[in-house]
Amino acid sequence: MAGLPPHARLRRAADFAALRNARGRLQARHFLLRWIESPTATARLGLAVSRKVSKRAVQRNRIKRIVRESFRKQREGLPPFDVLVIARASAVAVDRPALHADLRYAWQKLKALKQTSAPGTIDG
């Protein structure tokens, strides 16, 4: 199983701060996604799974693993966005297939946001 490469992760505080005020928002059942256009040519992922979601680190880490795995599988088809995935408390009580289904829904919505035409082209 291949991991998520470092260049596909948001790691700097400035990247997370930019997403805090992002206009791009998407609501899923167990997650909230915020995104902005990435300065890189690929999609990058940031995670926020707070103690409000669960006091137990085991449960928070499980959610993070599931999100990273789902993102890794979908990353190539996503537009070049920096995406912050914020887990909701409801994610703790749900099984892995339900979380994957919820994330698939979110990734599909992000793919639909991909520009229909590149800047500078003429639509016919």
How far apart CA 79 and CA 112 sit, in angstroms, is 9
Q: What is the pLDDT of residue 113?
A: 81
How far apart CA 49 and CA 17 sit, in angstroms, is 16
Count other C-beta atoms under 10 Å from residue 56's C-beta: 11
What does each C-alpha distance from 71 to 85, 117, 120 come to in angstroms? 10, 24, 30
Q: Contact 67/9 with Cβ under 8 angstroms?
A: no
- Name the 3-class secondary structure at 67: helix
Q: Contact 20/100 with Cβ under 8 angstroms?
A: no
Instruction: Please tell me which residue, 91 or 124, carries the higher pLDDT value.
Output: 91
pLDDT at residue 116 above 70? no
Q: What is the pLDDT of residue 6?
A: 87
Q: What is the pLDDT of residue 48?
A: 94
- CA R_g for the chain: 15
Over residues 61-108, the pLDDT tens digits come to 999 999 999 999 999 999 999 999 999 999 999 999 999 999 999 999
Which residue ranges form the domains of the chain, and what is each CATH number? 7-110 (3.30.230.10)
Over residues 9-23, the pLDDT tens digits come to 999 999 999 998 888
Q: What is the pLDDT of residue 4?
A: 84
pLDDT at residue 121 above 80? no
pLDDT at residue 2 above 70? no
Instruction: Please tell me which residue, 25 or 116, carries the higher pLDDT value.
Output: 25
How far apart CA 19 and CA 33 sit, in angstroms, is 10
Q: What is the pLDDT of residue 61?
A: 96
- Name the 3-class secondary structure at 84: strand
